[in-house]
Structure 1
Amino acid sequence: MKDYIIHDEWNIIEEGFVPELNRVSESIFSLGNGRMGQRANFEEQYSGDSLQGNYIAGVYYPDKTRVGWWKNGYPEYFAKVLNASNWIGINIWIDGIALDLAKAKVSDFKRVLNMKEGYLERSFTATLENGNQVEVKSTRFCSIVDDQTGAIEYSIKAKNFSAPIKIEPFIDFDVVNEDSNYDEKFWNALDQSASNGRAWVKASTKKTNFVVCSAMSYSIIHQGKELTLNSELVEKEKYASNIIESVIKEGETLTVYKYAANISSQNHDENKLVEVAEDEISKISTKGFANLKKEQAEAWKSKWTEADIVIKGDVAAQQGIRFNIFQLYQTYTGEDPRLNIGPKGFTGEKYGGSTYWDTEAYCLPFYMSTADSHVARNLLVYRYNHLQKAIENAEKLGFTNGAALYPMVTMNGEECHNEWEITFEEIHRNGAIAYAIYDYARYTGDQAYLAEYGLEVLIGISRFWAQRVNWSEAKQKYVMLGVTGPNEYENNVNNNWYTNYIASWTMKYTLDALDYVKVNHSSDYDRVLNKVNFDLDSETGKWNDVIDKMYFPYDEEKEVYLQQDGFLDKVLMPVDELDGEDRPINQNWSWDRILRSCFIKQADVLQGLYFFEDDFSIDEIKRNFEFYEPMTVHESSLSPCVHSILASKLGMEEKAYEMYLRTARLDLDDYNNDTEDGCHTTSMAGTWMAVIKGFGGMVIKDGKLHLNPFLPSKWEGYSFKINFRDIVLKVDITKDNVEITNESENDLSLILKGEDTLISGKGKKELAT
């Protein structure tokens, strides 16, 4: 755990330059706008350790899977969002010496991510090798108003010298992905051009043939006056720039304004990309940096009005939740159903930027409650659009009759994960997609989605489960062999409780969905059943049989559900007994040792109890929580939030707060020593859930909103907003009362602390705590 980020309610602040922490900071201070994003690399050149990263949503490459022994059905590639052009670069030479913080003496270094207004600011003083001292301040952002563009203000002040200065704003497509096989580069050069004050580079991806044009324009202000540019034009493969030479005198300031656009063939005719890019940079440069920054602040104000969570009396907790919300909004806006959410967002290369089950299990609730319902609907439409690919994925493994296996990792619906135990065994992801349909329908009330899209997906998934189980003569039950549950520190196990449970539940829900659609949307019912060639009696009969006879491992003595067969054969011990030097165990132990241990990477049984809490008594949840939580190392970013929610439900305030703080500050404090790879974007939605579903006690039962909030003892109060079926509620919790304000016109009936409560449109209710 690191503790160098200064606590502040609205800003992420780093003071002092520590090269060993640079990659961590590059992740934390990342920027994005849903269409593109970038790590917090420096504008000027930097020869020290850095992970250069600029990414464009949806642009990916199918990198060849590397395995020691090929197996039938194995994915042929591992999809990855590519490092795209470096558009932020501004090389600086002063009296012939490059400004490079790896070679200069750096003082007064400060980096600030302003979350309230959506920009990154950096300032420092650098003493060069010849003693020349410069003071630099840069501000930049990815515009969420003009979401294919970004802007930079970069100022240099001569502190103790007068000398020639050379400035080179550039676009560079000659980039690499750090995790590429054999150091392969993924971009083919198409064309480039440089003209006075402008430059662009056009390139295409290998194999996938995405075409991107990145363009820039700039102006230079010297002592308040714009310089007349007479630049040296540089054009070479994948690179275009302008070089400008001037003189800066002691005490003078020179400011570069750079505007850039990244235009993709995903969104525009590839023959018009240059034209569109030049139009975009003309538009934003005409607006000017100050106006763009003002627009950015206004747009972020609107987002914070929708989704801010205010925590009083605990700056660390406040900073953590706002950081998580900020990164989620930077990553996904919900306006394009072709896009989804990668576990690292736009902050790093790990996991390839592809879609995992994280979206359905963790991110969907955030977007359902903080945005218009079409945003969450688009996340589900994304999976519907990939249904045929899911069927093909299952066919590759020998499944038939329209059985669908959604991929663990995907860009276009094809499975592209490069680890056997994940690709073939971690099939619980299928259940998360079914659960997301249920979660969306019950929260939004949009049952029409079931008829239009959801039922077809549910049938495909249930067909898979019905074929994936097999009958055990010994147990006289249906069993599920050779799987991996959410807890990836157990591979190739039999009868993972969570997987068996969510499989059985999915078939039950599909039967309910069939009944609902038949009664309420008969034409869709006939359409879907004809389309999928559904044998009503045979298939529903098999599902009912599996539901009735599914095996769930359980220990009668301890009265807990077992993670899988044989779990009690392990040496059971709490995490507290581990030597501190062993943590995190995934960086200090062999994989063999981890698999033989009792230690749990993330919630597994508890994940199921969280999803299906209405199926279990409080005593059952408590027994299982107290049995498994002490053995959980929380080395998955998805783990602490589930534990925080369950601990809140069980009245374990101290544990709930501990787990909340861990998930809220997972990246800011680098709990698992892996933030340098990128932030844990999808788990950030779990932080939001820990507040709303945990401390706020929000659940939906029988179509009705329930709130049962409590105030953590370390807080003076907190407030949040939720959008429930187009009614926006503001919930304020203090030591004395709970106040709910209905910001919409329509009345809402809900259950507040167990009591039926009607909140009139534009009205409010108070209840003493």
Structure 2
Amino acid sequence: MNQNYIKADKWCIVEEGFDKENVKSSESIFSIGNGAMGQRANFEESYSGATFQGSYIAGVYYPDKTRVGWWKNGYPEYFAKVLNAPNWIGIRVYINEQELDLSTCKKVSAFRRELNMKEGCYTRSFEAVTSNNIEIEVTVRRFLSLDIDEIGAISYSIKVLKANAEVVFEPYLDSGITNEDSNWDDKFWNTTNTSIIGDRAFIEAHTMKTNFQTCTFMQATLQYDGKHIAGEVGKRNETYASLEFKQKVLAGTTITLTKFGGYTVSRNHKANELVTAANTVLVKAISLGFDGLLELQKKAWASIWEMSDIVIEGDVKAQQGIRFNIFQLNQTYLGTDSRLNIGPKGFTGEKYGGSTYWDTEAYCIPFYMATKDDKVAKKLLKYRYNHLEKAIENATKLGFSNGAALYPMVTMNGEECHNEWEITFEEIHRNGAIAFAIYNYYRYTGDYSYIPEMGLEVLISIARFWHQRVNFSEDKNKYVMLGVTGPNEYENNVNNNWYTNYLAKWCIDYTLEQLDKVKNGYPDDYHRIIGKTKLTDRECESWKKVAVNMHFPYDKKYGVFLQQDGFLDKHLVKVNDLPKTDRPINQKWSWDRILRSPYIKQADVLQGFYFFEEDFSLEQLQKHFDFYEPFTVHESSLSPCVHSIQAAKLGRMEQAYNFYLRTSRLDLDDYNKEVEEGLHITSMAGTWMSIVEGFGGMRVINDKLSFQPQIPEQWNAYSFKVNFRNRIIKVHVSAKAVTFQLSGSKEVSIRVNGEKVVLYPDEIITV
């Protein structure tokens, strides 16, 4: 059984009824963020039940020393922890001197959470009978401002229902926090100062080792009976600062605390000016007030949705799923800062660490290219260029030379910081995803400038890595790749993973092609790059030999490329023949048993068919899909989207739809029984791809945008927009027709089901 307590709604995520078993899951699902910071949906008031406290600041991390039983040469020295940051949302509440705690209340009723994705605001409400028998009604609203991204706002209202009561609010800041996943129980934060000035409080703290300087700040005001109620200094110690507001509240009346809070960080300000910067931000927020700041929030989200929304008619759960995915992607990354990237958990949890995986290049860049503009995607590519020297260092530590680069599996600053050897050393296909993203960016945007300016240097270093990573096999008379792990992490230390070998060949071919193109079209850049990299014609010839003579495992009986050497030696029992009690196997089986099984965590060969579909026929795709999908357990969040796209291409819309539902509601329905650890942010871009590339059939073919639209029978219609080379195209698909509408000043030629269609500005074209 999947969790099923989230109510279906087109624009909101809704939970009704208080269940302690759901608290940690809901803390993930109702998380909020604004690209600069974010937080799990922890209760503002104290909660003594099971909870996972988490507030996060973009780009702030701690290098937690690696914990392994024995050291391996080249092993990363640390695992970059996404840090639980000082808490600014806390508000202790006392009713007649008894602290409000939903875990100890005699009764909790009418409990409701709502995450309004259209407006970017989170609301929680409930009625409670406290342990000292006071009946209250509480409504809390919270959001993180997109316009002023260093601040968030909370409105906390209490209505006393049957008897007069004294209500005490204690809004606070707390830097005495810890991470749930510390390796050595290190102290991650050092607090240097706490201060309270009037109705404002500040905590200055820095991270240990990395020395990110931060100021956590707040300002609070209390309104009752139309009046402003003054507060006073509350508690203060070396890691804690609070204000205190006390008021007698008459039965049937409401009292409201408004709290503004957030972070200023040395990444954006001088370290000695953080409190000043915090005061500046607070002045802006107070001048606007909660409602004024919320109005700006609504407008900012309306602008985001105007371009990125996907509308589905006739299927509320599917609609809710895609909007949840799009909402969380935009909460995590907005493209305003090229120093940042898209972490796999975003601002919703600590698992995986790091801010950057290959997920960004393989899954996220298409979403940002089509729903923002090319500047946002280019920042993501620039992020990798800025880390090129570190990628070369990473490869050097493993014994590579001559400027070969191995981009990290997990990173914060370009250094590898992943701690599982079979991934750190072996899952080298991530290099190929970065090269593919360079190709994909140019293919989609038509902007070639990145390649001569930055990208070609990246490609050369990656090609050098592949050239050094292969061996020549006398037995096969081919170049082989030994000891790797493909995207399917249920196969470790295999030889000749087909996907990795194919990527390596493609990367070399593409790099050589770009060298010729830059040499002929951008001679100044070419000479600069050759001078910097010391690349020679002789070296390029040695690359060509590898690309031409790469080994690809293949089986004539089945007519398929094999995932790796020896795949057919496994006991080929299909997933459908596994007892349901064995699923998910990553929680039920030993690792030894998983590695000896044929079961595939995520698309591997099919990932290659997705990237390079023009290299393979539809018949080949069908053969490989039919062979590998029955062995795929989809226990990676990145798996269902690729299968949805491939199933749609094969015309298997029912199967494509089911995969779409799984990817879009992976967290909402907690398919993998782990949502309490945080959301799967980067795979959410795959949900968008499932509709736009899968059902919509969008591709760039021969430099033209192309569509082959289909529609699941469960839907009446769906529509989406894409920004293609600064032209906004709206696509609406129903069972009867497909319509296209172009915004802009110039017409554009596209292809629909292989036929040329010319779109003119502001005209609706029906196919």
| Counterparts of residues 366-381 of structure 1 (less than 5 Å) | 366-381=367-382
How far did 1:274 drift? Answer: 0.4
1:582 touches 1:589 (CA, 8 Å); kept in 2?
A: yes
Q: Equivalences for 1:305-704 in 2 at 5 Å?
A: 305-535=306-536, 537-704=537-704
Partners of 1:522 and 1:350 in 2: CA distance: 46
From 115, 118, 142, give the equivalent of 2:117. Answer: 115
2:453 partner letter: E
Check conservation: 1:345, 1:353, Cα contact below 8 A: no
Q: What's the % identity of the aligned pairs?
A: 59
Q: Distance in 2 between matches of 1:553 and 1:315?
A: 44
Counterparts of residues 229-308 of structure 1 (less than 5 Å): 229=231, 231-308=232-309
Whole-Å Cα distance in 2 between the matches of residues 94 and 185 of structure 1?
35
Provide the secondary structure at the position in 2 that maps to 1:37: strand
Q: Which runs of 4+ in 1 moved over 3 A?
A: none
Q: Which amino acid letter does the alignment assign opposite residue 24 of structure 2?
A: R
User: What is the identity, as a one-letter code, of the residue corresponding to 2:288?
Assistant: K
More displaced stretch, 127-136 vs 201-210: 127-136
Paired residue for 2:736?
736
- Cα distance in 1 for partners of 2:424, 2:643 equals 26
Inter-partner Cα distance in structure 1 for 2:250 and 2:50: 32
| Per-residue deviation, 1:353 | 4.2
1:764 to partner: Cα distance: 2.8
Q: Give the residue type in structure 2 aligned to 1:729.
A: I
Contact 1:369 1:724 in 2 (8 A): yes
Secondary structure of 2:269's partner?
Answer: coil
Using the TM superposition, name which of 157-166 and 320-329 deviates more: 157-166
Q: Secondary structure at the match of 1:182?
A: coil
- C-alpha distance in 1 between matches for 2:272 and 2:510: 48
Task: Give me the whole-angstrom Cα distance separating, in 1, the residues matched to 2:357 and 2:111.
Answer: 37
**How many Å apart are 1:125 and its aligned residue?**
0.9
Give me the whole-angstrom Cα distance separating, in 2, the residues matched to 1:184 and 1:45: 25
The one-letter amino acid of 1:456's match is: E
Question: Which residue is equivalent to 1:712?
Answer: 712
Offset, 1:761: 2.4
Q: Choose the corresponding residue for 2:221, options 216, 219, 226.
A: 219
Structure 2 counterpart SS, 1:710 = coil
Contact 2:170–2:234 (CA<8 Å) still a contact in 1? no
How far the C-alpha of 1:765 sits from its partner, in A, is 1.3
**Shift in Å at residue 7 of structure 1?**
0.2
SS in 1 for 2:8: coil
Match of 1:186 among 182, 185, 188: 188
SS of match in other structure, 2:7: coil
Aligned partners of 2:30 and 2:225: how far apart in 1? 30
The answer to whether the 8 Å contact 2:716/2:735 transfers is yes
Shift of 1:245: 1.9
Gaps of 5+ in 2: none
Task: Give the Cα–Cα distance (whole angstroms) in 2 for the partners of residues 177 and 741 of structure 1.
Answer: 49
Q: After superposing the two structures, state which structure 1 stretch, 235-244 or 491-500, moved more.
A: 235-244
Contact 1:34/1:329, CA 8 A, preserved across alignment: yes
CA distance, structure 1, for counterparts of residue 712 and residue 677 of structure 2: 32
Partners in 2 of 1:223 and 1:582 — Cα distance?
Answer: 60
- C-alpha distance in 2 between matches for 1:131 and 1:189: 39
* 1:582 to partner: Cα distance: 1.1
Aligned amino acid, residue 570 of structure 1: K
8 A Cα contact 1:195 1:242, kept in partner: no
Q: Secondary structure at the match of 1:668?
A: coil
What amino acid maps onto 1:11 in structure 2? C
Structure 1: how far apart are the matches of 2:626 and 2:262?
A: 53
1:28-67 aligned at under 5 Å gives the runs: 28-67=29-68
Q: Is the 8 Å Cα contact of residues 41 and 53 (structure 1) preserved in structure 2?
A: yes
- Give ranges in structure 1 of 5+ residues lacking alignment: none
Tell me, yes or no, if the aligned pair for 2:65 and 2:184 is still in contact at 8 Å.
no
How far apart in 2 are the matches of 1:198 and 1:134?
28
Kindly provide the CA deviation profile for residues 456-494 of structure 1, in whole angstroms up to 9, marking residues without a partner as x.
000000000000001000000000000000000000000
- 3-state SS in 1 of match to 2:340: coil
Instruction: Tell me if structure 1 keeps the 8 A contact 2:395–2:406.
Output: yes
1:631-655 deviations in whole A, cap 9, x for unaligned?
1010000000000000000001111
Matched residue count: 765
Is 2:164–2:249's contact at 8 Å kept on the other side of the alignment? yes
1:277-321 CA distance string (max 9 Å, x none)? 011012101110011111100110000001100000000000000
Tell me whether 41-50 or 239-248 shows the greater mean CA deviation: 239-248
Letter of the 2:649 counterpart: K
Amino acid at match of 2:455: G
Kindly provide the amino acid, as one letter, of the partner of residue 11 in structure 2: W
- One-letter code aligned to 1:211: Q
Instruction: Give the conservation status (yes or no) of the 8 Å contact 2:485–2:491.
Output: yes
Q: Deviations over 1:613-646 (max 9, x none)?
A: 0000100000000010011010000000000000
- Equivalent position of 1:141 in the other structure: 143
Distance in 1 between residues matched to 2:630 and 2:19, nearest whole Å = 35
Determine the structure 1 residue equivalent to 2:170: 168
Distance 1:35 1:380 in 2: 19
Structure 1 position 159 matched with structure 2 position 190: no
Q: Verify the 8 A CA contact 1:202 1:238 in the aligned structure 2.
A: no
For 2:659 and 2:534, locate their aligned partners in 1 and report how far apart those are by CA, in whole Å. 47
Equivalent residue letter for 2:284:
K
Letter in 2 for 1:45: S
The CA deviation string for residues 413-470 of structure 1, in whole angstroms up to 9 with x for no partner, is 0000010001000000000000000000110001111100110000000000000001
TM-score (norm 1): 0.99
Deviation at 1:721, TM superposition (A): 0.1
Does the C-alpha gap of structure 1 residues 182 and 133 become closer, same or farther in structure 2, counting only changes over 3 Å?
farther
By how many angstroms is 1:81 displaced?
1.6
Distance 1:252 1:344 in 2: 41
Q: Distance in 1 between matches of 2:300 and 2:187?
A: 36
Mean Cα deviation higher: 478-487 or 752-761: 752-761
d(CA) in 2 for partners of 1:410, 1:686: 21
CA contact (8 A) 1:29 1:39 kept: yes
Q: CA deviation at 1:182?
A: 3.3
Residue 131 of structure 1 deviates from its aligned partner by 1.2
Q: Deviations over 1:134-180 (max 9, x none)?
A: 11000000000111110000000111222222210011111111001
TM-score by length of 2: 0.99
Whether the aligned pair in 1 keeps the contact of 2:219 and 2:282 (CA below 8 Å) is yes
| Contact 2:488 2:601 (C-alpha < 8 Å) held by counterparts | yes
Aligned to 1:728, what secondary structure does the other structure show?
strand
Alpha carbons of structure 1 residues 173 and 584: separation in structure 2 relative to 1, 3 Å:
same
Matched residue SS, 1:379: helix
**Alpha-carbon distance change, 353 to 111 in structure 1, aligned in 2, over 3 angstroms:** farther
Alpha-carbon distance between aligned partners in 2 of 1:487 and 1:9, rounded to the nearest angstrom: 34
Residue equivalent to 1:128? 130
SS of corresponding position for 1:427: coil
In 1, the alpha carbon distance for the partners of 2:188 and 2:469 equals 38
